[in-house]
Structure 1
Amino acid sequence: MSRAPTLLCGVTAIILAWAGAAHAQVSSTHQAATTTTAATDDGAGAYRTQRYRNLFVERLGRSPQETHAKIEQAFQRLFHGDGQEERVYFETGANANGTLAYITDWANNDARTEGMSYGMMIAVQLGKKREFDALWNWSKTTMLTTDPANPSRGYFAWSMGTDGTPRATGAAPDGEEYYAMALYFAARRWGNGKGIYDYQKEADTILRGMRHHPVVTATPPFRIHPGDQPFVEPATPWPSPNNRHAQEQAQKAGKPWPPQRPHRAPRAVTVGPMVDEAHAMVRFVPETFIPGTDPSYHLPAFYELWARWGPREDRAFWARAASVSRDFFVKTADPGTGLGPDRADFDGTPLKNWDGSPGSFSYDSWRTISNWSVDSSWWNKDPRQQALSDRVQRFLSSQGIDRFADRYTLDGKPQSDRHSTGMLAAAAVGSLAATPGQVSDDFLRALWDTPVPSGEQRYFDGMLYLMSMMHVGGEFRVIDANNK
């Protein structure tokens, strides 16, 4: 789940939802497996042609060598730079499976499945096996829920302290999605090893869990591992000394820091699959009483590969999910701005924010333009994606590429006074699908000229910056041993 300048954003609100902020909406039965299939043709994109565009070369006249050097520099700073100001990757000892390492959200002083899986994806794309294995080892050792009494058993806890203590006992599907895809790529780049490094087997296990997790009801407190102390959320959620911006904003607004949460009695929680069978969509969370989906979790470029490489019994489902997600991007995009909400119902209707305000474009939403644009680059199956990218880039350009806000109402009213590198980077990936021209080139130029993120907000900004550089620089590819 995405970068939060405060401690309440996106998936963090799952905790409030568990405590009763969301209306109960319990599924009565597990939907039957879909029998609908979507065409699994190879499209007309890079998967078929094996040609990955380097837009820095194609549009800005840079060289492949310059592009690679810039990407490698970003990797070295974010993974091995100064520990106080630059890197987010930290190695922390070893166990029987080898080195352990985590990616931290520096501002909030935790490790998230989102960042761990992003780090693994970056590592496998760039051929960094040590970092990949160390992140996977920490994920399996620390974040994988193994306590039989926890209804999320088999999922990864979405947020953990960097000391390995829990911040949450539930899961966020975007982490599972990137874990699975990174593991499939690792199997094809390096081959399968033993135990937790049998990458194909581990990826298959994650995908099976996403679709076939049993529906289980239990009452908290829960544990991540048998023998752990039960996790009880504190009244004040882990104030981080690194999150200076949030402290300053709270002080200006006259609000307490850290924010106080009202005490609520534990209530039963029902956890099921991470996908909604009837709609062939990934859910916002697997807790059944929390409705809807997150458009930025929709990854049709990945689903196409799972329809080819994943468990055979699920391939038709993922083929259908890819097609459904392409339609969903169109449904959720505002007709004027192209902006989409952080959360939406399965029919595309924006869901209200956790404070009851109308659904808006926020931190999760930054990623959606990147998702459909990568799908366009790899598969090129949906001509509507060009218009979607054009619309978003045109709107943000009208706001000023060097100053647009990082949160908006869907119709384009700023809700923030901050301009964020991560949002700029994701918007630049839109140039993979956008109409070539001045506007799309301006985004590429702005990304090229932007330095590697540093300081307290370097986690989400930095991960999106590096992956976006890889996407538009032609170094984020389908890794397939059959198509080297």
Structure 2
Amino acid sequence: MDSTDKTVPARKYTNVFTWYGYSEQVIQTRAAEIWDAIFTGPYKIYTEVPPDMAYIEDVGNADVRTEGMSYGMMLAVQYDRHDVFDKLWRWVMKYMYMPTGRHAHYFAWSVSPEGVKNADGPAPDGEEYFAMALFFASRRWDEGEGLYAYADHARDILRHCVHNGDTLPGLPMWERGNYLIKFIPEADFTDPSYHLPHFYTLFAEYADTQDRGFWQQAAAASRAYLVQAINPETGLNPEYSTYTGEPYLASPDHHFFFSDAYRTSLNVALDAEWWGSTPVLQDRLEKLQQFFSPDGPGNLGTVYAVDGEAQNQTVRHPAAVLATVAAASLAVPASDTSLYFVDMFWHRALETGSGRYYSNLLYAFSFLALSGRYRMF
């Protein structure tokens, strides 16, 4: 990645690894190794297919998800791999885009590797990542035409996310009354890890002029919501929650700190890096690291309720838990605890088993964040 990139605004990004003695050379080597592990190595999750397309596979579930495709596009922007970005985007538009039906202009959240849709509905985390990756692509590589008019496609995605059910047919992805993202368009609950105020702050600059006030409100609402959703004593958050932050009990097993929930600390830390920390959320990240520290009650391999009560379950994605807890070090004061997790993460290999799709993508984003390589364009 080129240190002279036209990042916005002009700034120097925090490289936590250098705080703790890692050289820029070894950090750059590790960054390249992570790309190779995901995209080219023997345990890769990236596959190229004719004609000049590619997909990211959830190898544990044998499907292709908007989550993974949008993550892959974001990684391609951050690593300056225009070729990979376009191959993924072509696959998305050919096989995931829904031009008609009740979810027209959204993307089917699960599709087979052969391109057969497994679902006729979207998952909003995919749409918001697609939009941000496309805006960044437009600014990093400039606009093309048609499929490669990246910013036009990003604005179209966000237009439908906000206005479906209003000025456009369908259902919106944000709850209009509170500016919070839904779990799915039909839902009346949310997922804390879907809340990306650092993206919404940029949407307020890049989206349709008429919607920029909406995105400013959405950023503020999500930051306030996250204060409620993350437990003030443990730093844990549920996988799904009500709009007021309580664990969503109507969906069995999704009210624990599990799976989706791991992403939240990474998102909060990146928001703090890009736009400045919220003191209460910084405290939540410190509590999370204290909970899992050697002196704390938590174990990275165990599933917990948000109040810290251990469940009789083990985590499915151990590298993801460690990576995202370590990512919190980007937004907390340097300490023995933050050093412990950064060092532990540095020495943790990527996963090679059936759960490597989710774990290794979060590993990659956490590494980019901690090394100052997760940038705005």
Q: Distance in 2 between matches of 1:441 and 1:372?
A: 19
Q: Distance in 1 between matches of 2:170 and 2:29?
A: 45
| In the alignment, structure 1 residue 182 sits paired with structure 2 residue 142 | no
**Counterparts of residues 389-400 of structure 1 (less than 5 Å):** 389-398=285-294
Amino acid at match of 1:412: G
Q: Is the 2:171–2:185 Cα contact (8 Å) retained in structure 1?
A: yes
Cα shift at 1:404: 1.5
**Counterparts of residues 7-406 of structure 1 (less than 5 Å):** 50-58=11-19, 60-82=20-42, 86-94=43-51, 99-146=52-99, 148=100, 150-214=101-165, 271-287=170-186, 290-355=187-252, 359-398=255-294, 403-405=299-301
- Gaps of at least 5 residues in structure 1 are 1-45, 217-269, 480-484
Amino acid at match of 1:321: A
Matched with 2:374 is 476
Cα shift at 1:453: 2.0
Cα shift at 1:353: 4.9
Matched with 2:3 is none
Cα shift at 1:435: 2.2
Q: Is the 1:363–1:407 Cα contact (8 Å) retained in structure 2?
A: no
Q: Is the 2:110–2:118 Cα contact (8 Å) retained in structure 1?
A: yes
Could you say if the C-alpha distance between residues 117 and 134 of structure 1 is closer, same or farther in structure 2, counting changes exceeding 3 Å? same
Q: Distance in 1 between matches of 2:220 and 2:290?
A: 26
Could you say if the C-alpha distance between residues 381 and 469 of structure 1 is closer, same or farther in structure 2, counting changes exceeding 3 Å? closer
Amino acid at match of 1:281: L
Q: Is the 1:295–1:341 Cα contact (8 Å) retained in structure 2?
A: yes
Q: Distance in 1 between matches of 2:222 and 2:200?
A: 9
| In the alignment, structure 1 residue 462 sits paired with structure 2 residue 365 | no
Q: Is the 1:157–1:169 Cα contact (8 Å) retained in structure 2?
A: yes
Cα shift at 1:213: 1.4
Q: Which has the higher helix share?
A: 2
Q: Distance in 1 between matches of 2:73 and 2:291?
A: 33
Could you say if the C-alpha distance between residues 471 and 89 of structure 1 is closer, same or farther in structure 2, counting changes exceeding 3 Å? same
Q: Is the 1:405–1:414 Cα contact (8 Å) retained in structure 2?
A: no
Percent sequence identity is 37
Could you say if the C-alpha distance between residues 139 and 157 of structure 1 is closer, same or farther in structure 2, counting changes exceeding 3 Å? same
Amino acid at match of 1:124: V
Q: Is the 2:298–2:308 Cα contact (8 Å) retained in structure 1?
A: no
Q: Distance in 2 between matches of 1:464 and 1:300?
A: 18
Q: Distance in 1 between matches of 2:114 and 2:10?
A: 45
Could you say if the C-alpha distance between residues 114 and 401 of structure 1 is closer, same or farther in structure 2, counting changes exceeding 3 Å? farther
Amino acid at match of 2:180: M
Q: Distance in 1 between matches of 2:297 and 2:349?
A: 15
Provide TM-score, normalisation by structure 2: 0.93
Cα shift at 1:386: 1.6
Cα shift at 1:406: 5.1
Per-residue deviation, residues 156-177 of structure 1 (Å, max 9, x unmatched): 0000111111211100000001
Amino acid at match of 1:475: R
Cα shift at 1:62: 0.7
Q: Is the 1:120–1:179 Cα contact (8 Å) retained in structure 2?
A: yes
RCO higher in structure (CA 8 A, sep ≥6)? 1
Matched with 2:4 is none
Cα shift at 1:304: 0.6
Could you say if the C-alpha distance between residues 275 and 358 of structure 1 is closer, same or farther in structure 2, counting changes exceeding 3 Å? closer
Q: Distance in 1 between matches of 2:63 and 2:40?
A: 18
Amino acid at match of 1:469: F
Q: Distance in 1 between matches of 2:53 and 2:250?
A: 36
Could you say if the C-alpha distance between residues 186 and 93 of structure 1 is closer, same or farther in structure 2, counting changes exceeding 3 Å? same
- Gaps of at least 5 residues in structure 2 are 1-6
Cα shift at 1:401: 11
Cα shift at 1:354: 2.2
Provide TM-score, normalisation by structure 1: 0.73
Tell me the SS of whatever aligns to 2:314: coil
Amino acid at match of 1:274: M
Amino acid at match of 2:218: A
Larger radius of gyration: 1
Question: Which of 401, 409, 415 is the equivalent residue of 2:305?
Answer: 409
Cα shift at 1:48: 5.1
Aligned residues: 368
Cα shift at 1:414: 2.8
Matched with 2:321 is 423
Amino acid at match of 1:106: V
Amino acid at match of 1:396: F
Instruction: Give the superposed CA RMSD.
Output: 2.0
Cα shift at 1:399: 7.5
Q: Distance in 2 between matches of 1:426 and 1:404?
A: 11
Matched with 1:36 is none
Q: Distance in 2 between matches of 1:47 and 1:91?
A: 32
Per-residue deviation, residues 22-75 of structure 1 (Å, max 9, x unmatched): xxxxxxxxxxxxxxxxxxxxxxxx9656010110111x2111121111011110
Q: Distance in 2 between matches of 1:455 and 1:381?
A: 36
